[in-house]
Each structure stands twice: as structure tokens, then as C-alpha cells.
Amino acid sequence: MGILEALSQPWPWYIAGPLIGLTVPLLLLLGNKHFGVSENFRTVCAMIPNKVPFLNYNWRAQTWNLVFALGILLGGLVAGVLLANPEPLRVASATTDDLAALGVAVDGEFVPASLFSWSNLFTLQGFILMVVGGFLIGFGTRYAGGCTSGHAIMGLSELQLPSLIAVIGFFAGGLLMTHLLLPLILSL
């Protein structure tokens, strides 16, 4: 198997997991840095001259995290364009059946166009899922003091109780959304 073929395949948990986990000690060894993606939004906002006390801090100390986030974007671009799998997305038949019962057609794309498209944005369902959902994710990230990557990868590895509570909340919220709220929203 060549390098490009290996990079274009899903990696098993026993390879990807330790690689993700090794970022924690690496960042701590490289200057006691803490990993988290959502902090970049605050850093970008702090770069713009303002009088908001929350945004007045030494954002230059966080440029390493901006470079990390830029690497995520570039990695996604490389994976999505250069290493893209030409085959349609495969979804388990049970999931396809569950989605069909909710009126969502699996179309082989990463996200179903029947839910996430420009035309669906202007429907009540689309507005709730994309705009209200996006706002709630942003608000929740700020309220929880970080995102899933910051809490689940960095915070749990440091045995922080707030991170454990946040991760439990993330999972509970995901289950609540999947099994209760999504069917209600799709029935509108």
C-alpha cells in the first residue's frame, strides 16, 4: 500500500486515537500549551481593534493555535480535494432506514442535501438546524469554556472535572438531539 492510498483510507482507532492523544503531551512539552479549536474565534476577534474587555489580551501568544487551525483547514482541503474518495459515502442500512423514516434521503454525500443546502436554509427546518443550531453550538462552546476537542482531548487528559462534566453534557446533548429534538424538527 502506497502513502497516498494509506492517507486516503479511514484510519483504525488504534492508530488515529494514539496520534490524537499524543498531541497533549507534545503541546505540554512544547511550552505548556493547551489544545482547543474554539479559542481561535476569540483570538481572531481580539486581533481586530476593539474595546471589549474579554477580547483585550495578548492574542499574539495564541498565534501557534491559529497556525494549528489553519493546518486543520488545509488538511481538510487536501483530504477533500486531492485525497477524495470518488465512491459515494456508505451509510449503514439501519441508519439509512432510520433516516428514511424521518424523511431524510441518504444521497451518498457527506451531509444530506435534503437537510443542509442553500435552498433548505430558507425553510423553517433548515433555519432551525443551521442558524439556530449554529448559534447554540457557539453559545454552548463559550458557556462550557471550550469545545469538544479542548475538553475531551485536553481537559480529560489533565483530569479536569469541568471537562468531564462538559463531555458528559456533549454526549447527553447529542443523544437528546438525535432521539428527541431532530424528529420533532423534521416533523415541522
Using CA atoms, how far apart are residues 43 and 40, in angstroms rounded to an integer? 5
Q: Which residue has the cell 447529542?
A: 174
> Which residue stretches of the chain have pLDDT < 70?
none
The residues, any chain, with a CB within 8 Å of residue 23's CB and separated by 6 or more, are 35, 153
Using CA atoms, how far apart are residues 133 and 16, in angstroms rounded to an integer? 29
